[in-house]
Amino acid sequence: MQIEIPIVEVTLMEDRARVVRRATVDLPAGLTRLVVDAVAPVLSDKTLAARSASARVSDVSIERRRLHERSDKSDEAQRLEKAVEASADLLRTHRHRLSRIEESLGLLDEAADRTLEELAVDAAWGRADKDGWQRRLGSVAELDARLREERLAVGWDLAETQRELSVHEKALVAASTPSREMHAAITVAVEVEEAGQHPVEIEYVVPNACWRPQHRASLDGNTLRFECRGCVWQNTGEDWPDVQLRFSTQRPSLGAEPPTLETDRLSVKRKADKIVVEQRQQVIETTGLGQAAAASAPELPGIDDGGEVQELLASHRISVVSDGSPHHAALFEIESEARESLFCVPELDTTVLRKTEQTNRATRPILAGPVDLLRSGGFVGRTTILYVAPEEQFELGWGPDPSLRVHRETDETEEESKLLSSWYRSERKVVDKLSNLGPDTKLVELVERVPVSEIEKVKIEVDQKKTGRDADTDGFVRWDVRLEPFGRERIELRYVVNRHSDVSGNF
């Protein structure tokens, strides 16, 4: 018995989806085979399952077949074969003509060279025949011009024939290749003792489906409205009309085996006379505020759920067509008070950026992903955000302030050591010049960085007298710079690097 059991729920994971079909079916007493047509041909057979609360399911299977399989060549394919042969013959004729023309041009160039040599000899012996020379050179030039025009025309014909041959070959491949379109149907064997209405549920997992978090932030005055959405792509061969979507960060796998242990031999090694030090960048692993210093999240990362599996329910039912295009489903939204400020890290970028600080007021975390930025009802750009836990503060960048300019200069003195000292000293200076081209007063948070030493034989000290402040434990030095209308400010950072003579390297 062929029936329709619609898709009612889909749970999306990083690279697959779990599809649930559910319906109440009017079954007669005894054994009945239910056939559900037009299901995804790519579904995983081992995940196919069927169940019923009031009936016994004895078997469930899937059958696949190709549609429009061709066993012999059609009239269109035969016609295209003749067209391909004719185009190929014409292409060979054009190439032969072009070869003959090139050969004639080569012989004509040789004849012209010999004619010029003979004219030079006649002139040397005083046998000047201007009319004869003009006739000989004129005939050579006329023949050369005619051959070059013919070569141009044959070249155009050759290019057109090649284009026609390519079109005919592609059409022939399409007409001769059997259709790869698949049709799949699920058969469920159900047995009931009494006729009546019985619920039937079918479940399976399909590939070619995925989701990623996407967000939208709207700033209106001091209020931020943050919308979390799930972006869905699927090309499974079946449409999902009016379904309830669930978005999961669960990562199914086939399991893993422990690594093979190998012998790790320890031996005594003589201590090196020199300590080699290399400068390296250290990412500060934080969430919420502070994550701006870390690497930005890529456009399509593996979903970051903070180590705890999340399952998010779409706020409304949607339809997802099997065409590979993106579809968006709203998950939840928050409203929070936004504190706006200006921020600049000249070492990375001399642009002064606008940023807002707000709190995640939702009971669920905000997952890492791209954020569309809207201000005063208009789109102003796009940024990214990392994982933000509930009730945690986070930052959003809203682009540069066009009225502020920053210029950065660095200077470093050569290393020097005092008499009878084993320590070398070098001074480093960073100067930031800020200017305000607008008529309003601006307050800018300026951040510079000094290296942080991890060994005792390298010491880095900030000159607090000239800098005016000290660095924090991560090496960051911060200033709150007030820029008056059309004003300028100069910020200077000085620090000293002391290293022992036993230390070498680039730092």
pLDDT in tens, 134-180: 777 788 788 888 888 998 999 999 999 999 999 988 888 877 655 55
Q: Output the pLDDT for position 283.
A: 62
Q: What CATH code is carried by the domain that includes residue 103?
A: 1.10.287
pLDDT of residue 240: 95
The per-residue pLDDT for 444 is 95
**Do 16 and 207 contact (CB within 8 A), yes or no?**
yes
Domain containing 496 equals 404-506
Whether residue 242 has pLDDT greater than 70: yes
Closest residue by Cα to residue 451 from 497, 500, 484, 420: 497
Mean pLDDT of 282-300: 50
Q: Are 169 and 30 members of one domain?
A: no
pLDDT over 60 at 279, yes or no: yes
CB atoms inside a 10 Å sphere around CB 483: 22
Flag whether the pTM goes above 0.85: no
Q: Tell me how far apart the alpha carbons of residues 378 and 380 are, in angstroms, rounded to a whole number.
A: 6
Q: 14 with 85, same domain? A: no
Residues 4-19: what's their mean pLDDT? 93
Is 41 within the bounds of a domain? yes
* 17 lies in some domain: yes
Do 338 and 380 lie in one domain? The reply is: yes
Residue 320 has pLDDT above 50, yes or no: yes
Q: What is the mean pLDDT of the chain?
A: 86
Q: DSSP 3-state assignment of 232?
A: strand
Per-residue confidence (pLDDT) for residue 291, from 0 to 100: 47
Amino acid symbol at 153: A
Among the three residues 397, 423, 450, which one is the final residue of a domain in this structure?
397
Is 261 among the domain residues? no
Q: Is residue 269 part of a domain?
A: no
215-232: pLDDT as tens digits: 999 999 899 999 999 999
The answer, yes or no, to whether residue 356 has pLDDT greater than 80, is yes
Domain shared by 195 and 55, yes or no: yes
Considering the chain, what percentage of its residues have pLDDT values greater than 70?
A: 91
Domain boundary among 369, 397, 425: 397
CB-CB contact of 290 with 209 (8 Å): no
One domain, residues 81 and 59: no
Closest listed residue to residue 108, CA positions, set 142, 150, 154: 142
Q: Give a yes or no: residue 27 inside a domain.
A: yes
Residues 20-48 have pLDDT tens digits of 999 999 999 999 999 999 899 999 999 99
Q: Which two tokens stand for residue 507?
A: 């730092």
For residue 155, tell me if it sits in a domain: yes
Confidence (pLDDT) at 301: 55
**Confidence class for position 253, pLDDT limits 50, 70, 90:** low
- Is a pLDDT exceeding 60 seen at residue 358? yes
pLDDT of residue 139: 82
User: Does residue 260 form part of some domain?
Assistant: no
Residue 289 has pLDDT above 90, yes or no: no
> What are the pLDDT digits (tens) for 63-118?
988 765 544 556 778 888 889 999 999 999 999 999 999 998 888 888 888 877 87
Amino acid (one-letter) located at 138: G
Assess whether 335 and 372 both reside in one domain: yes
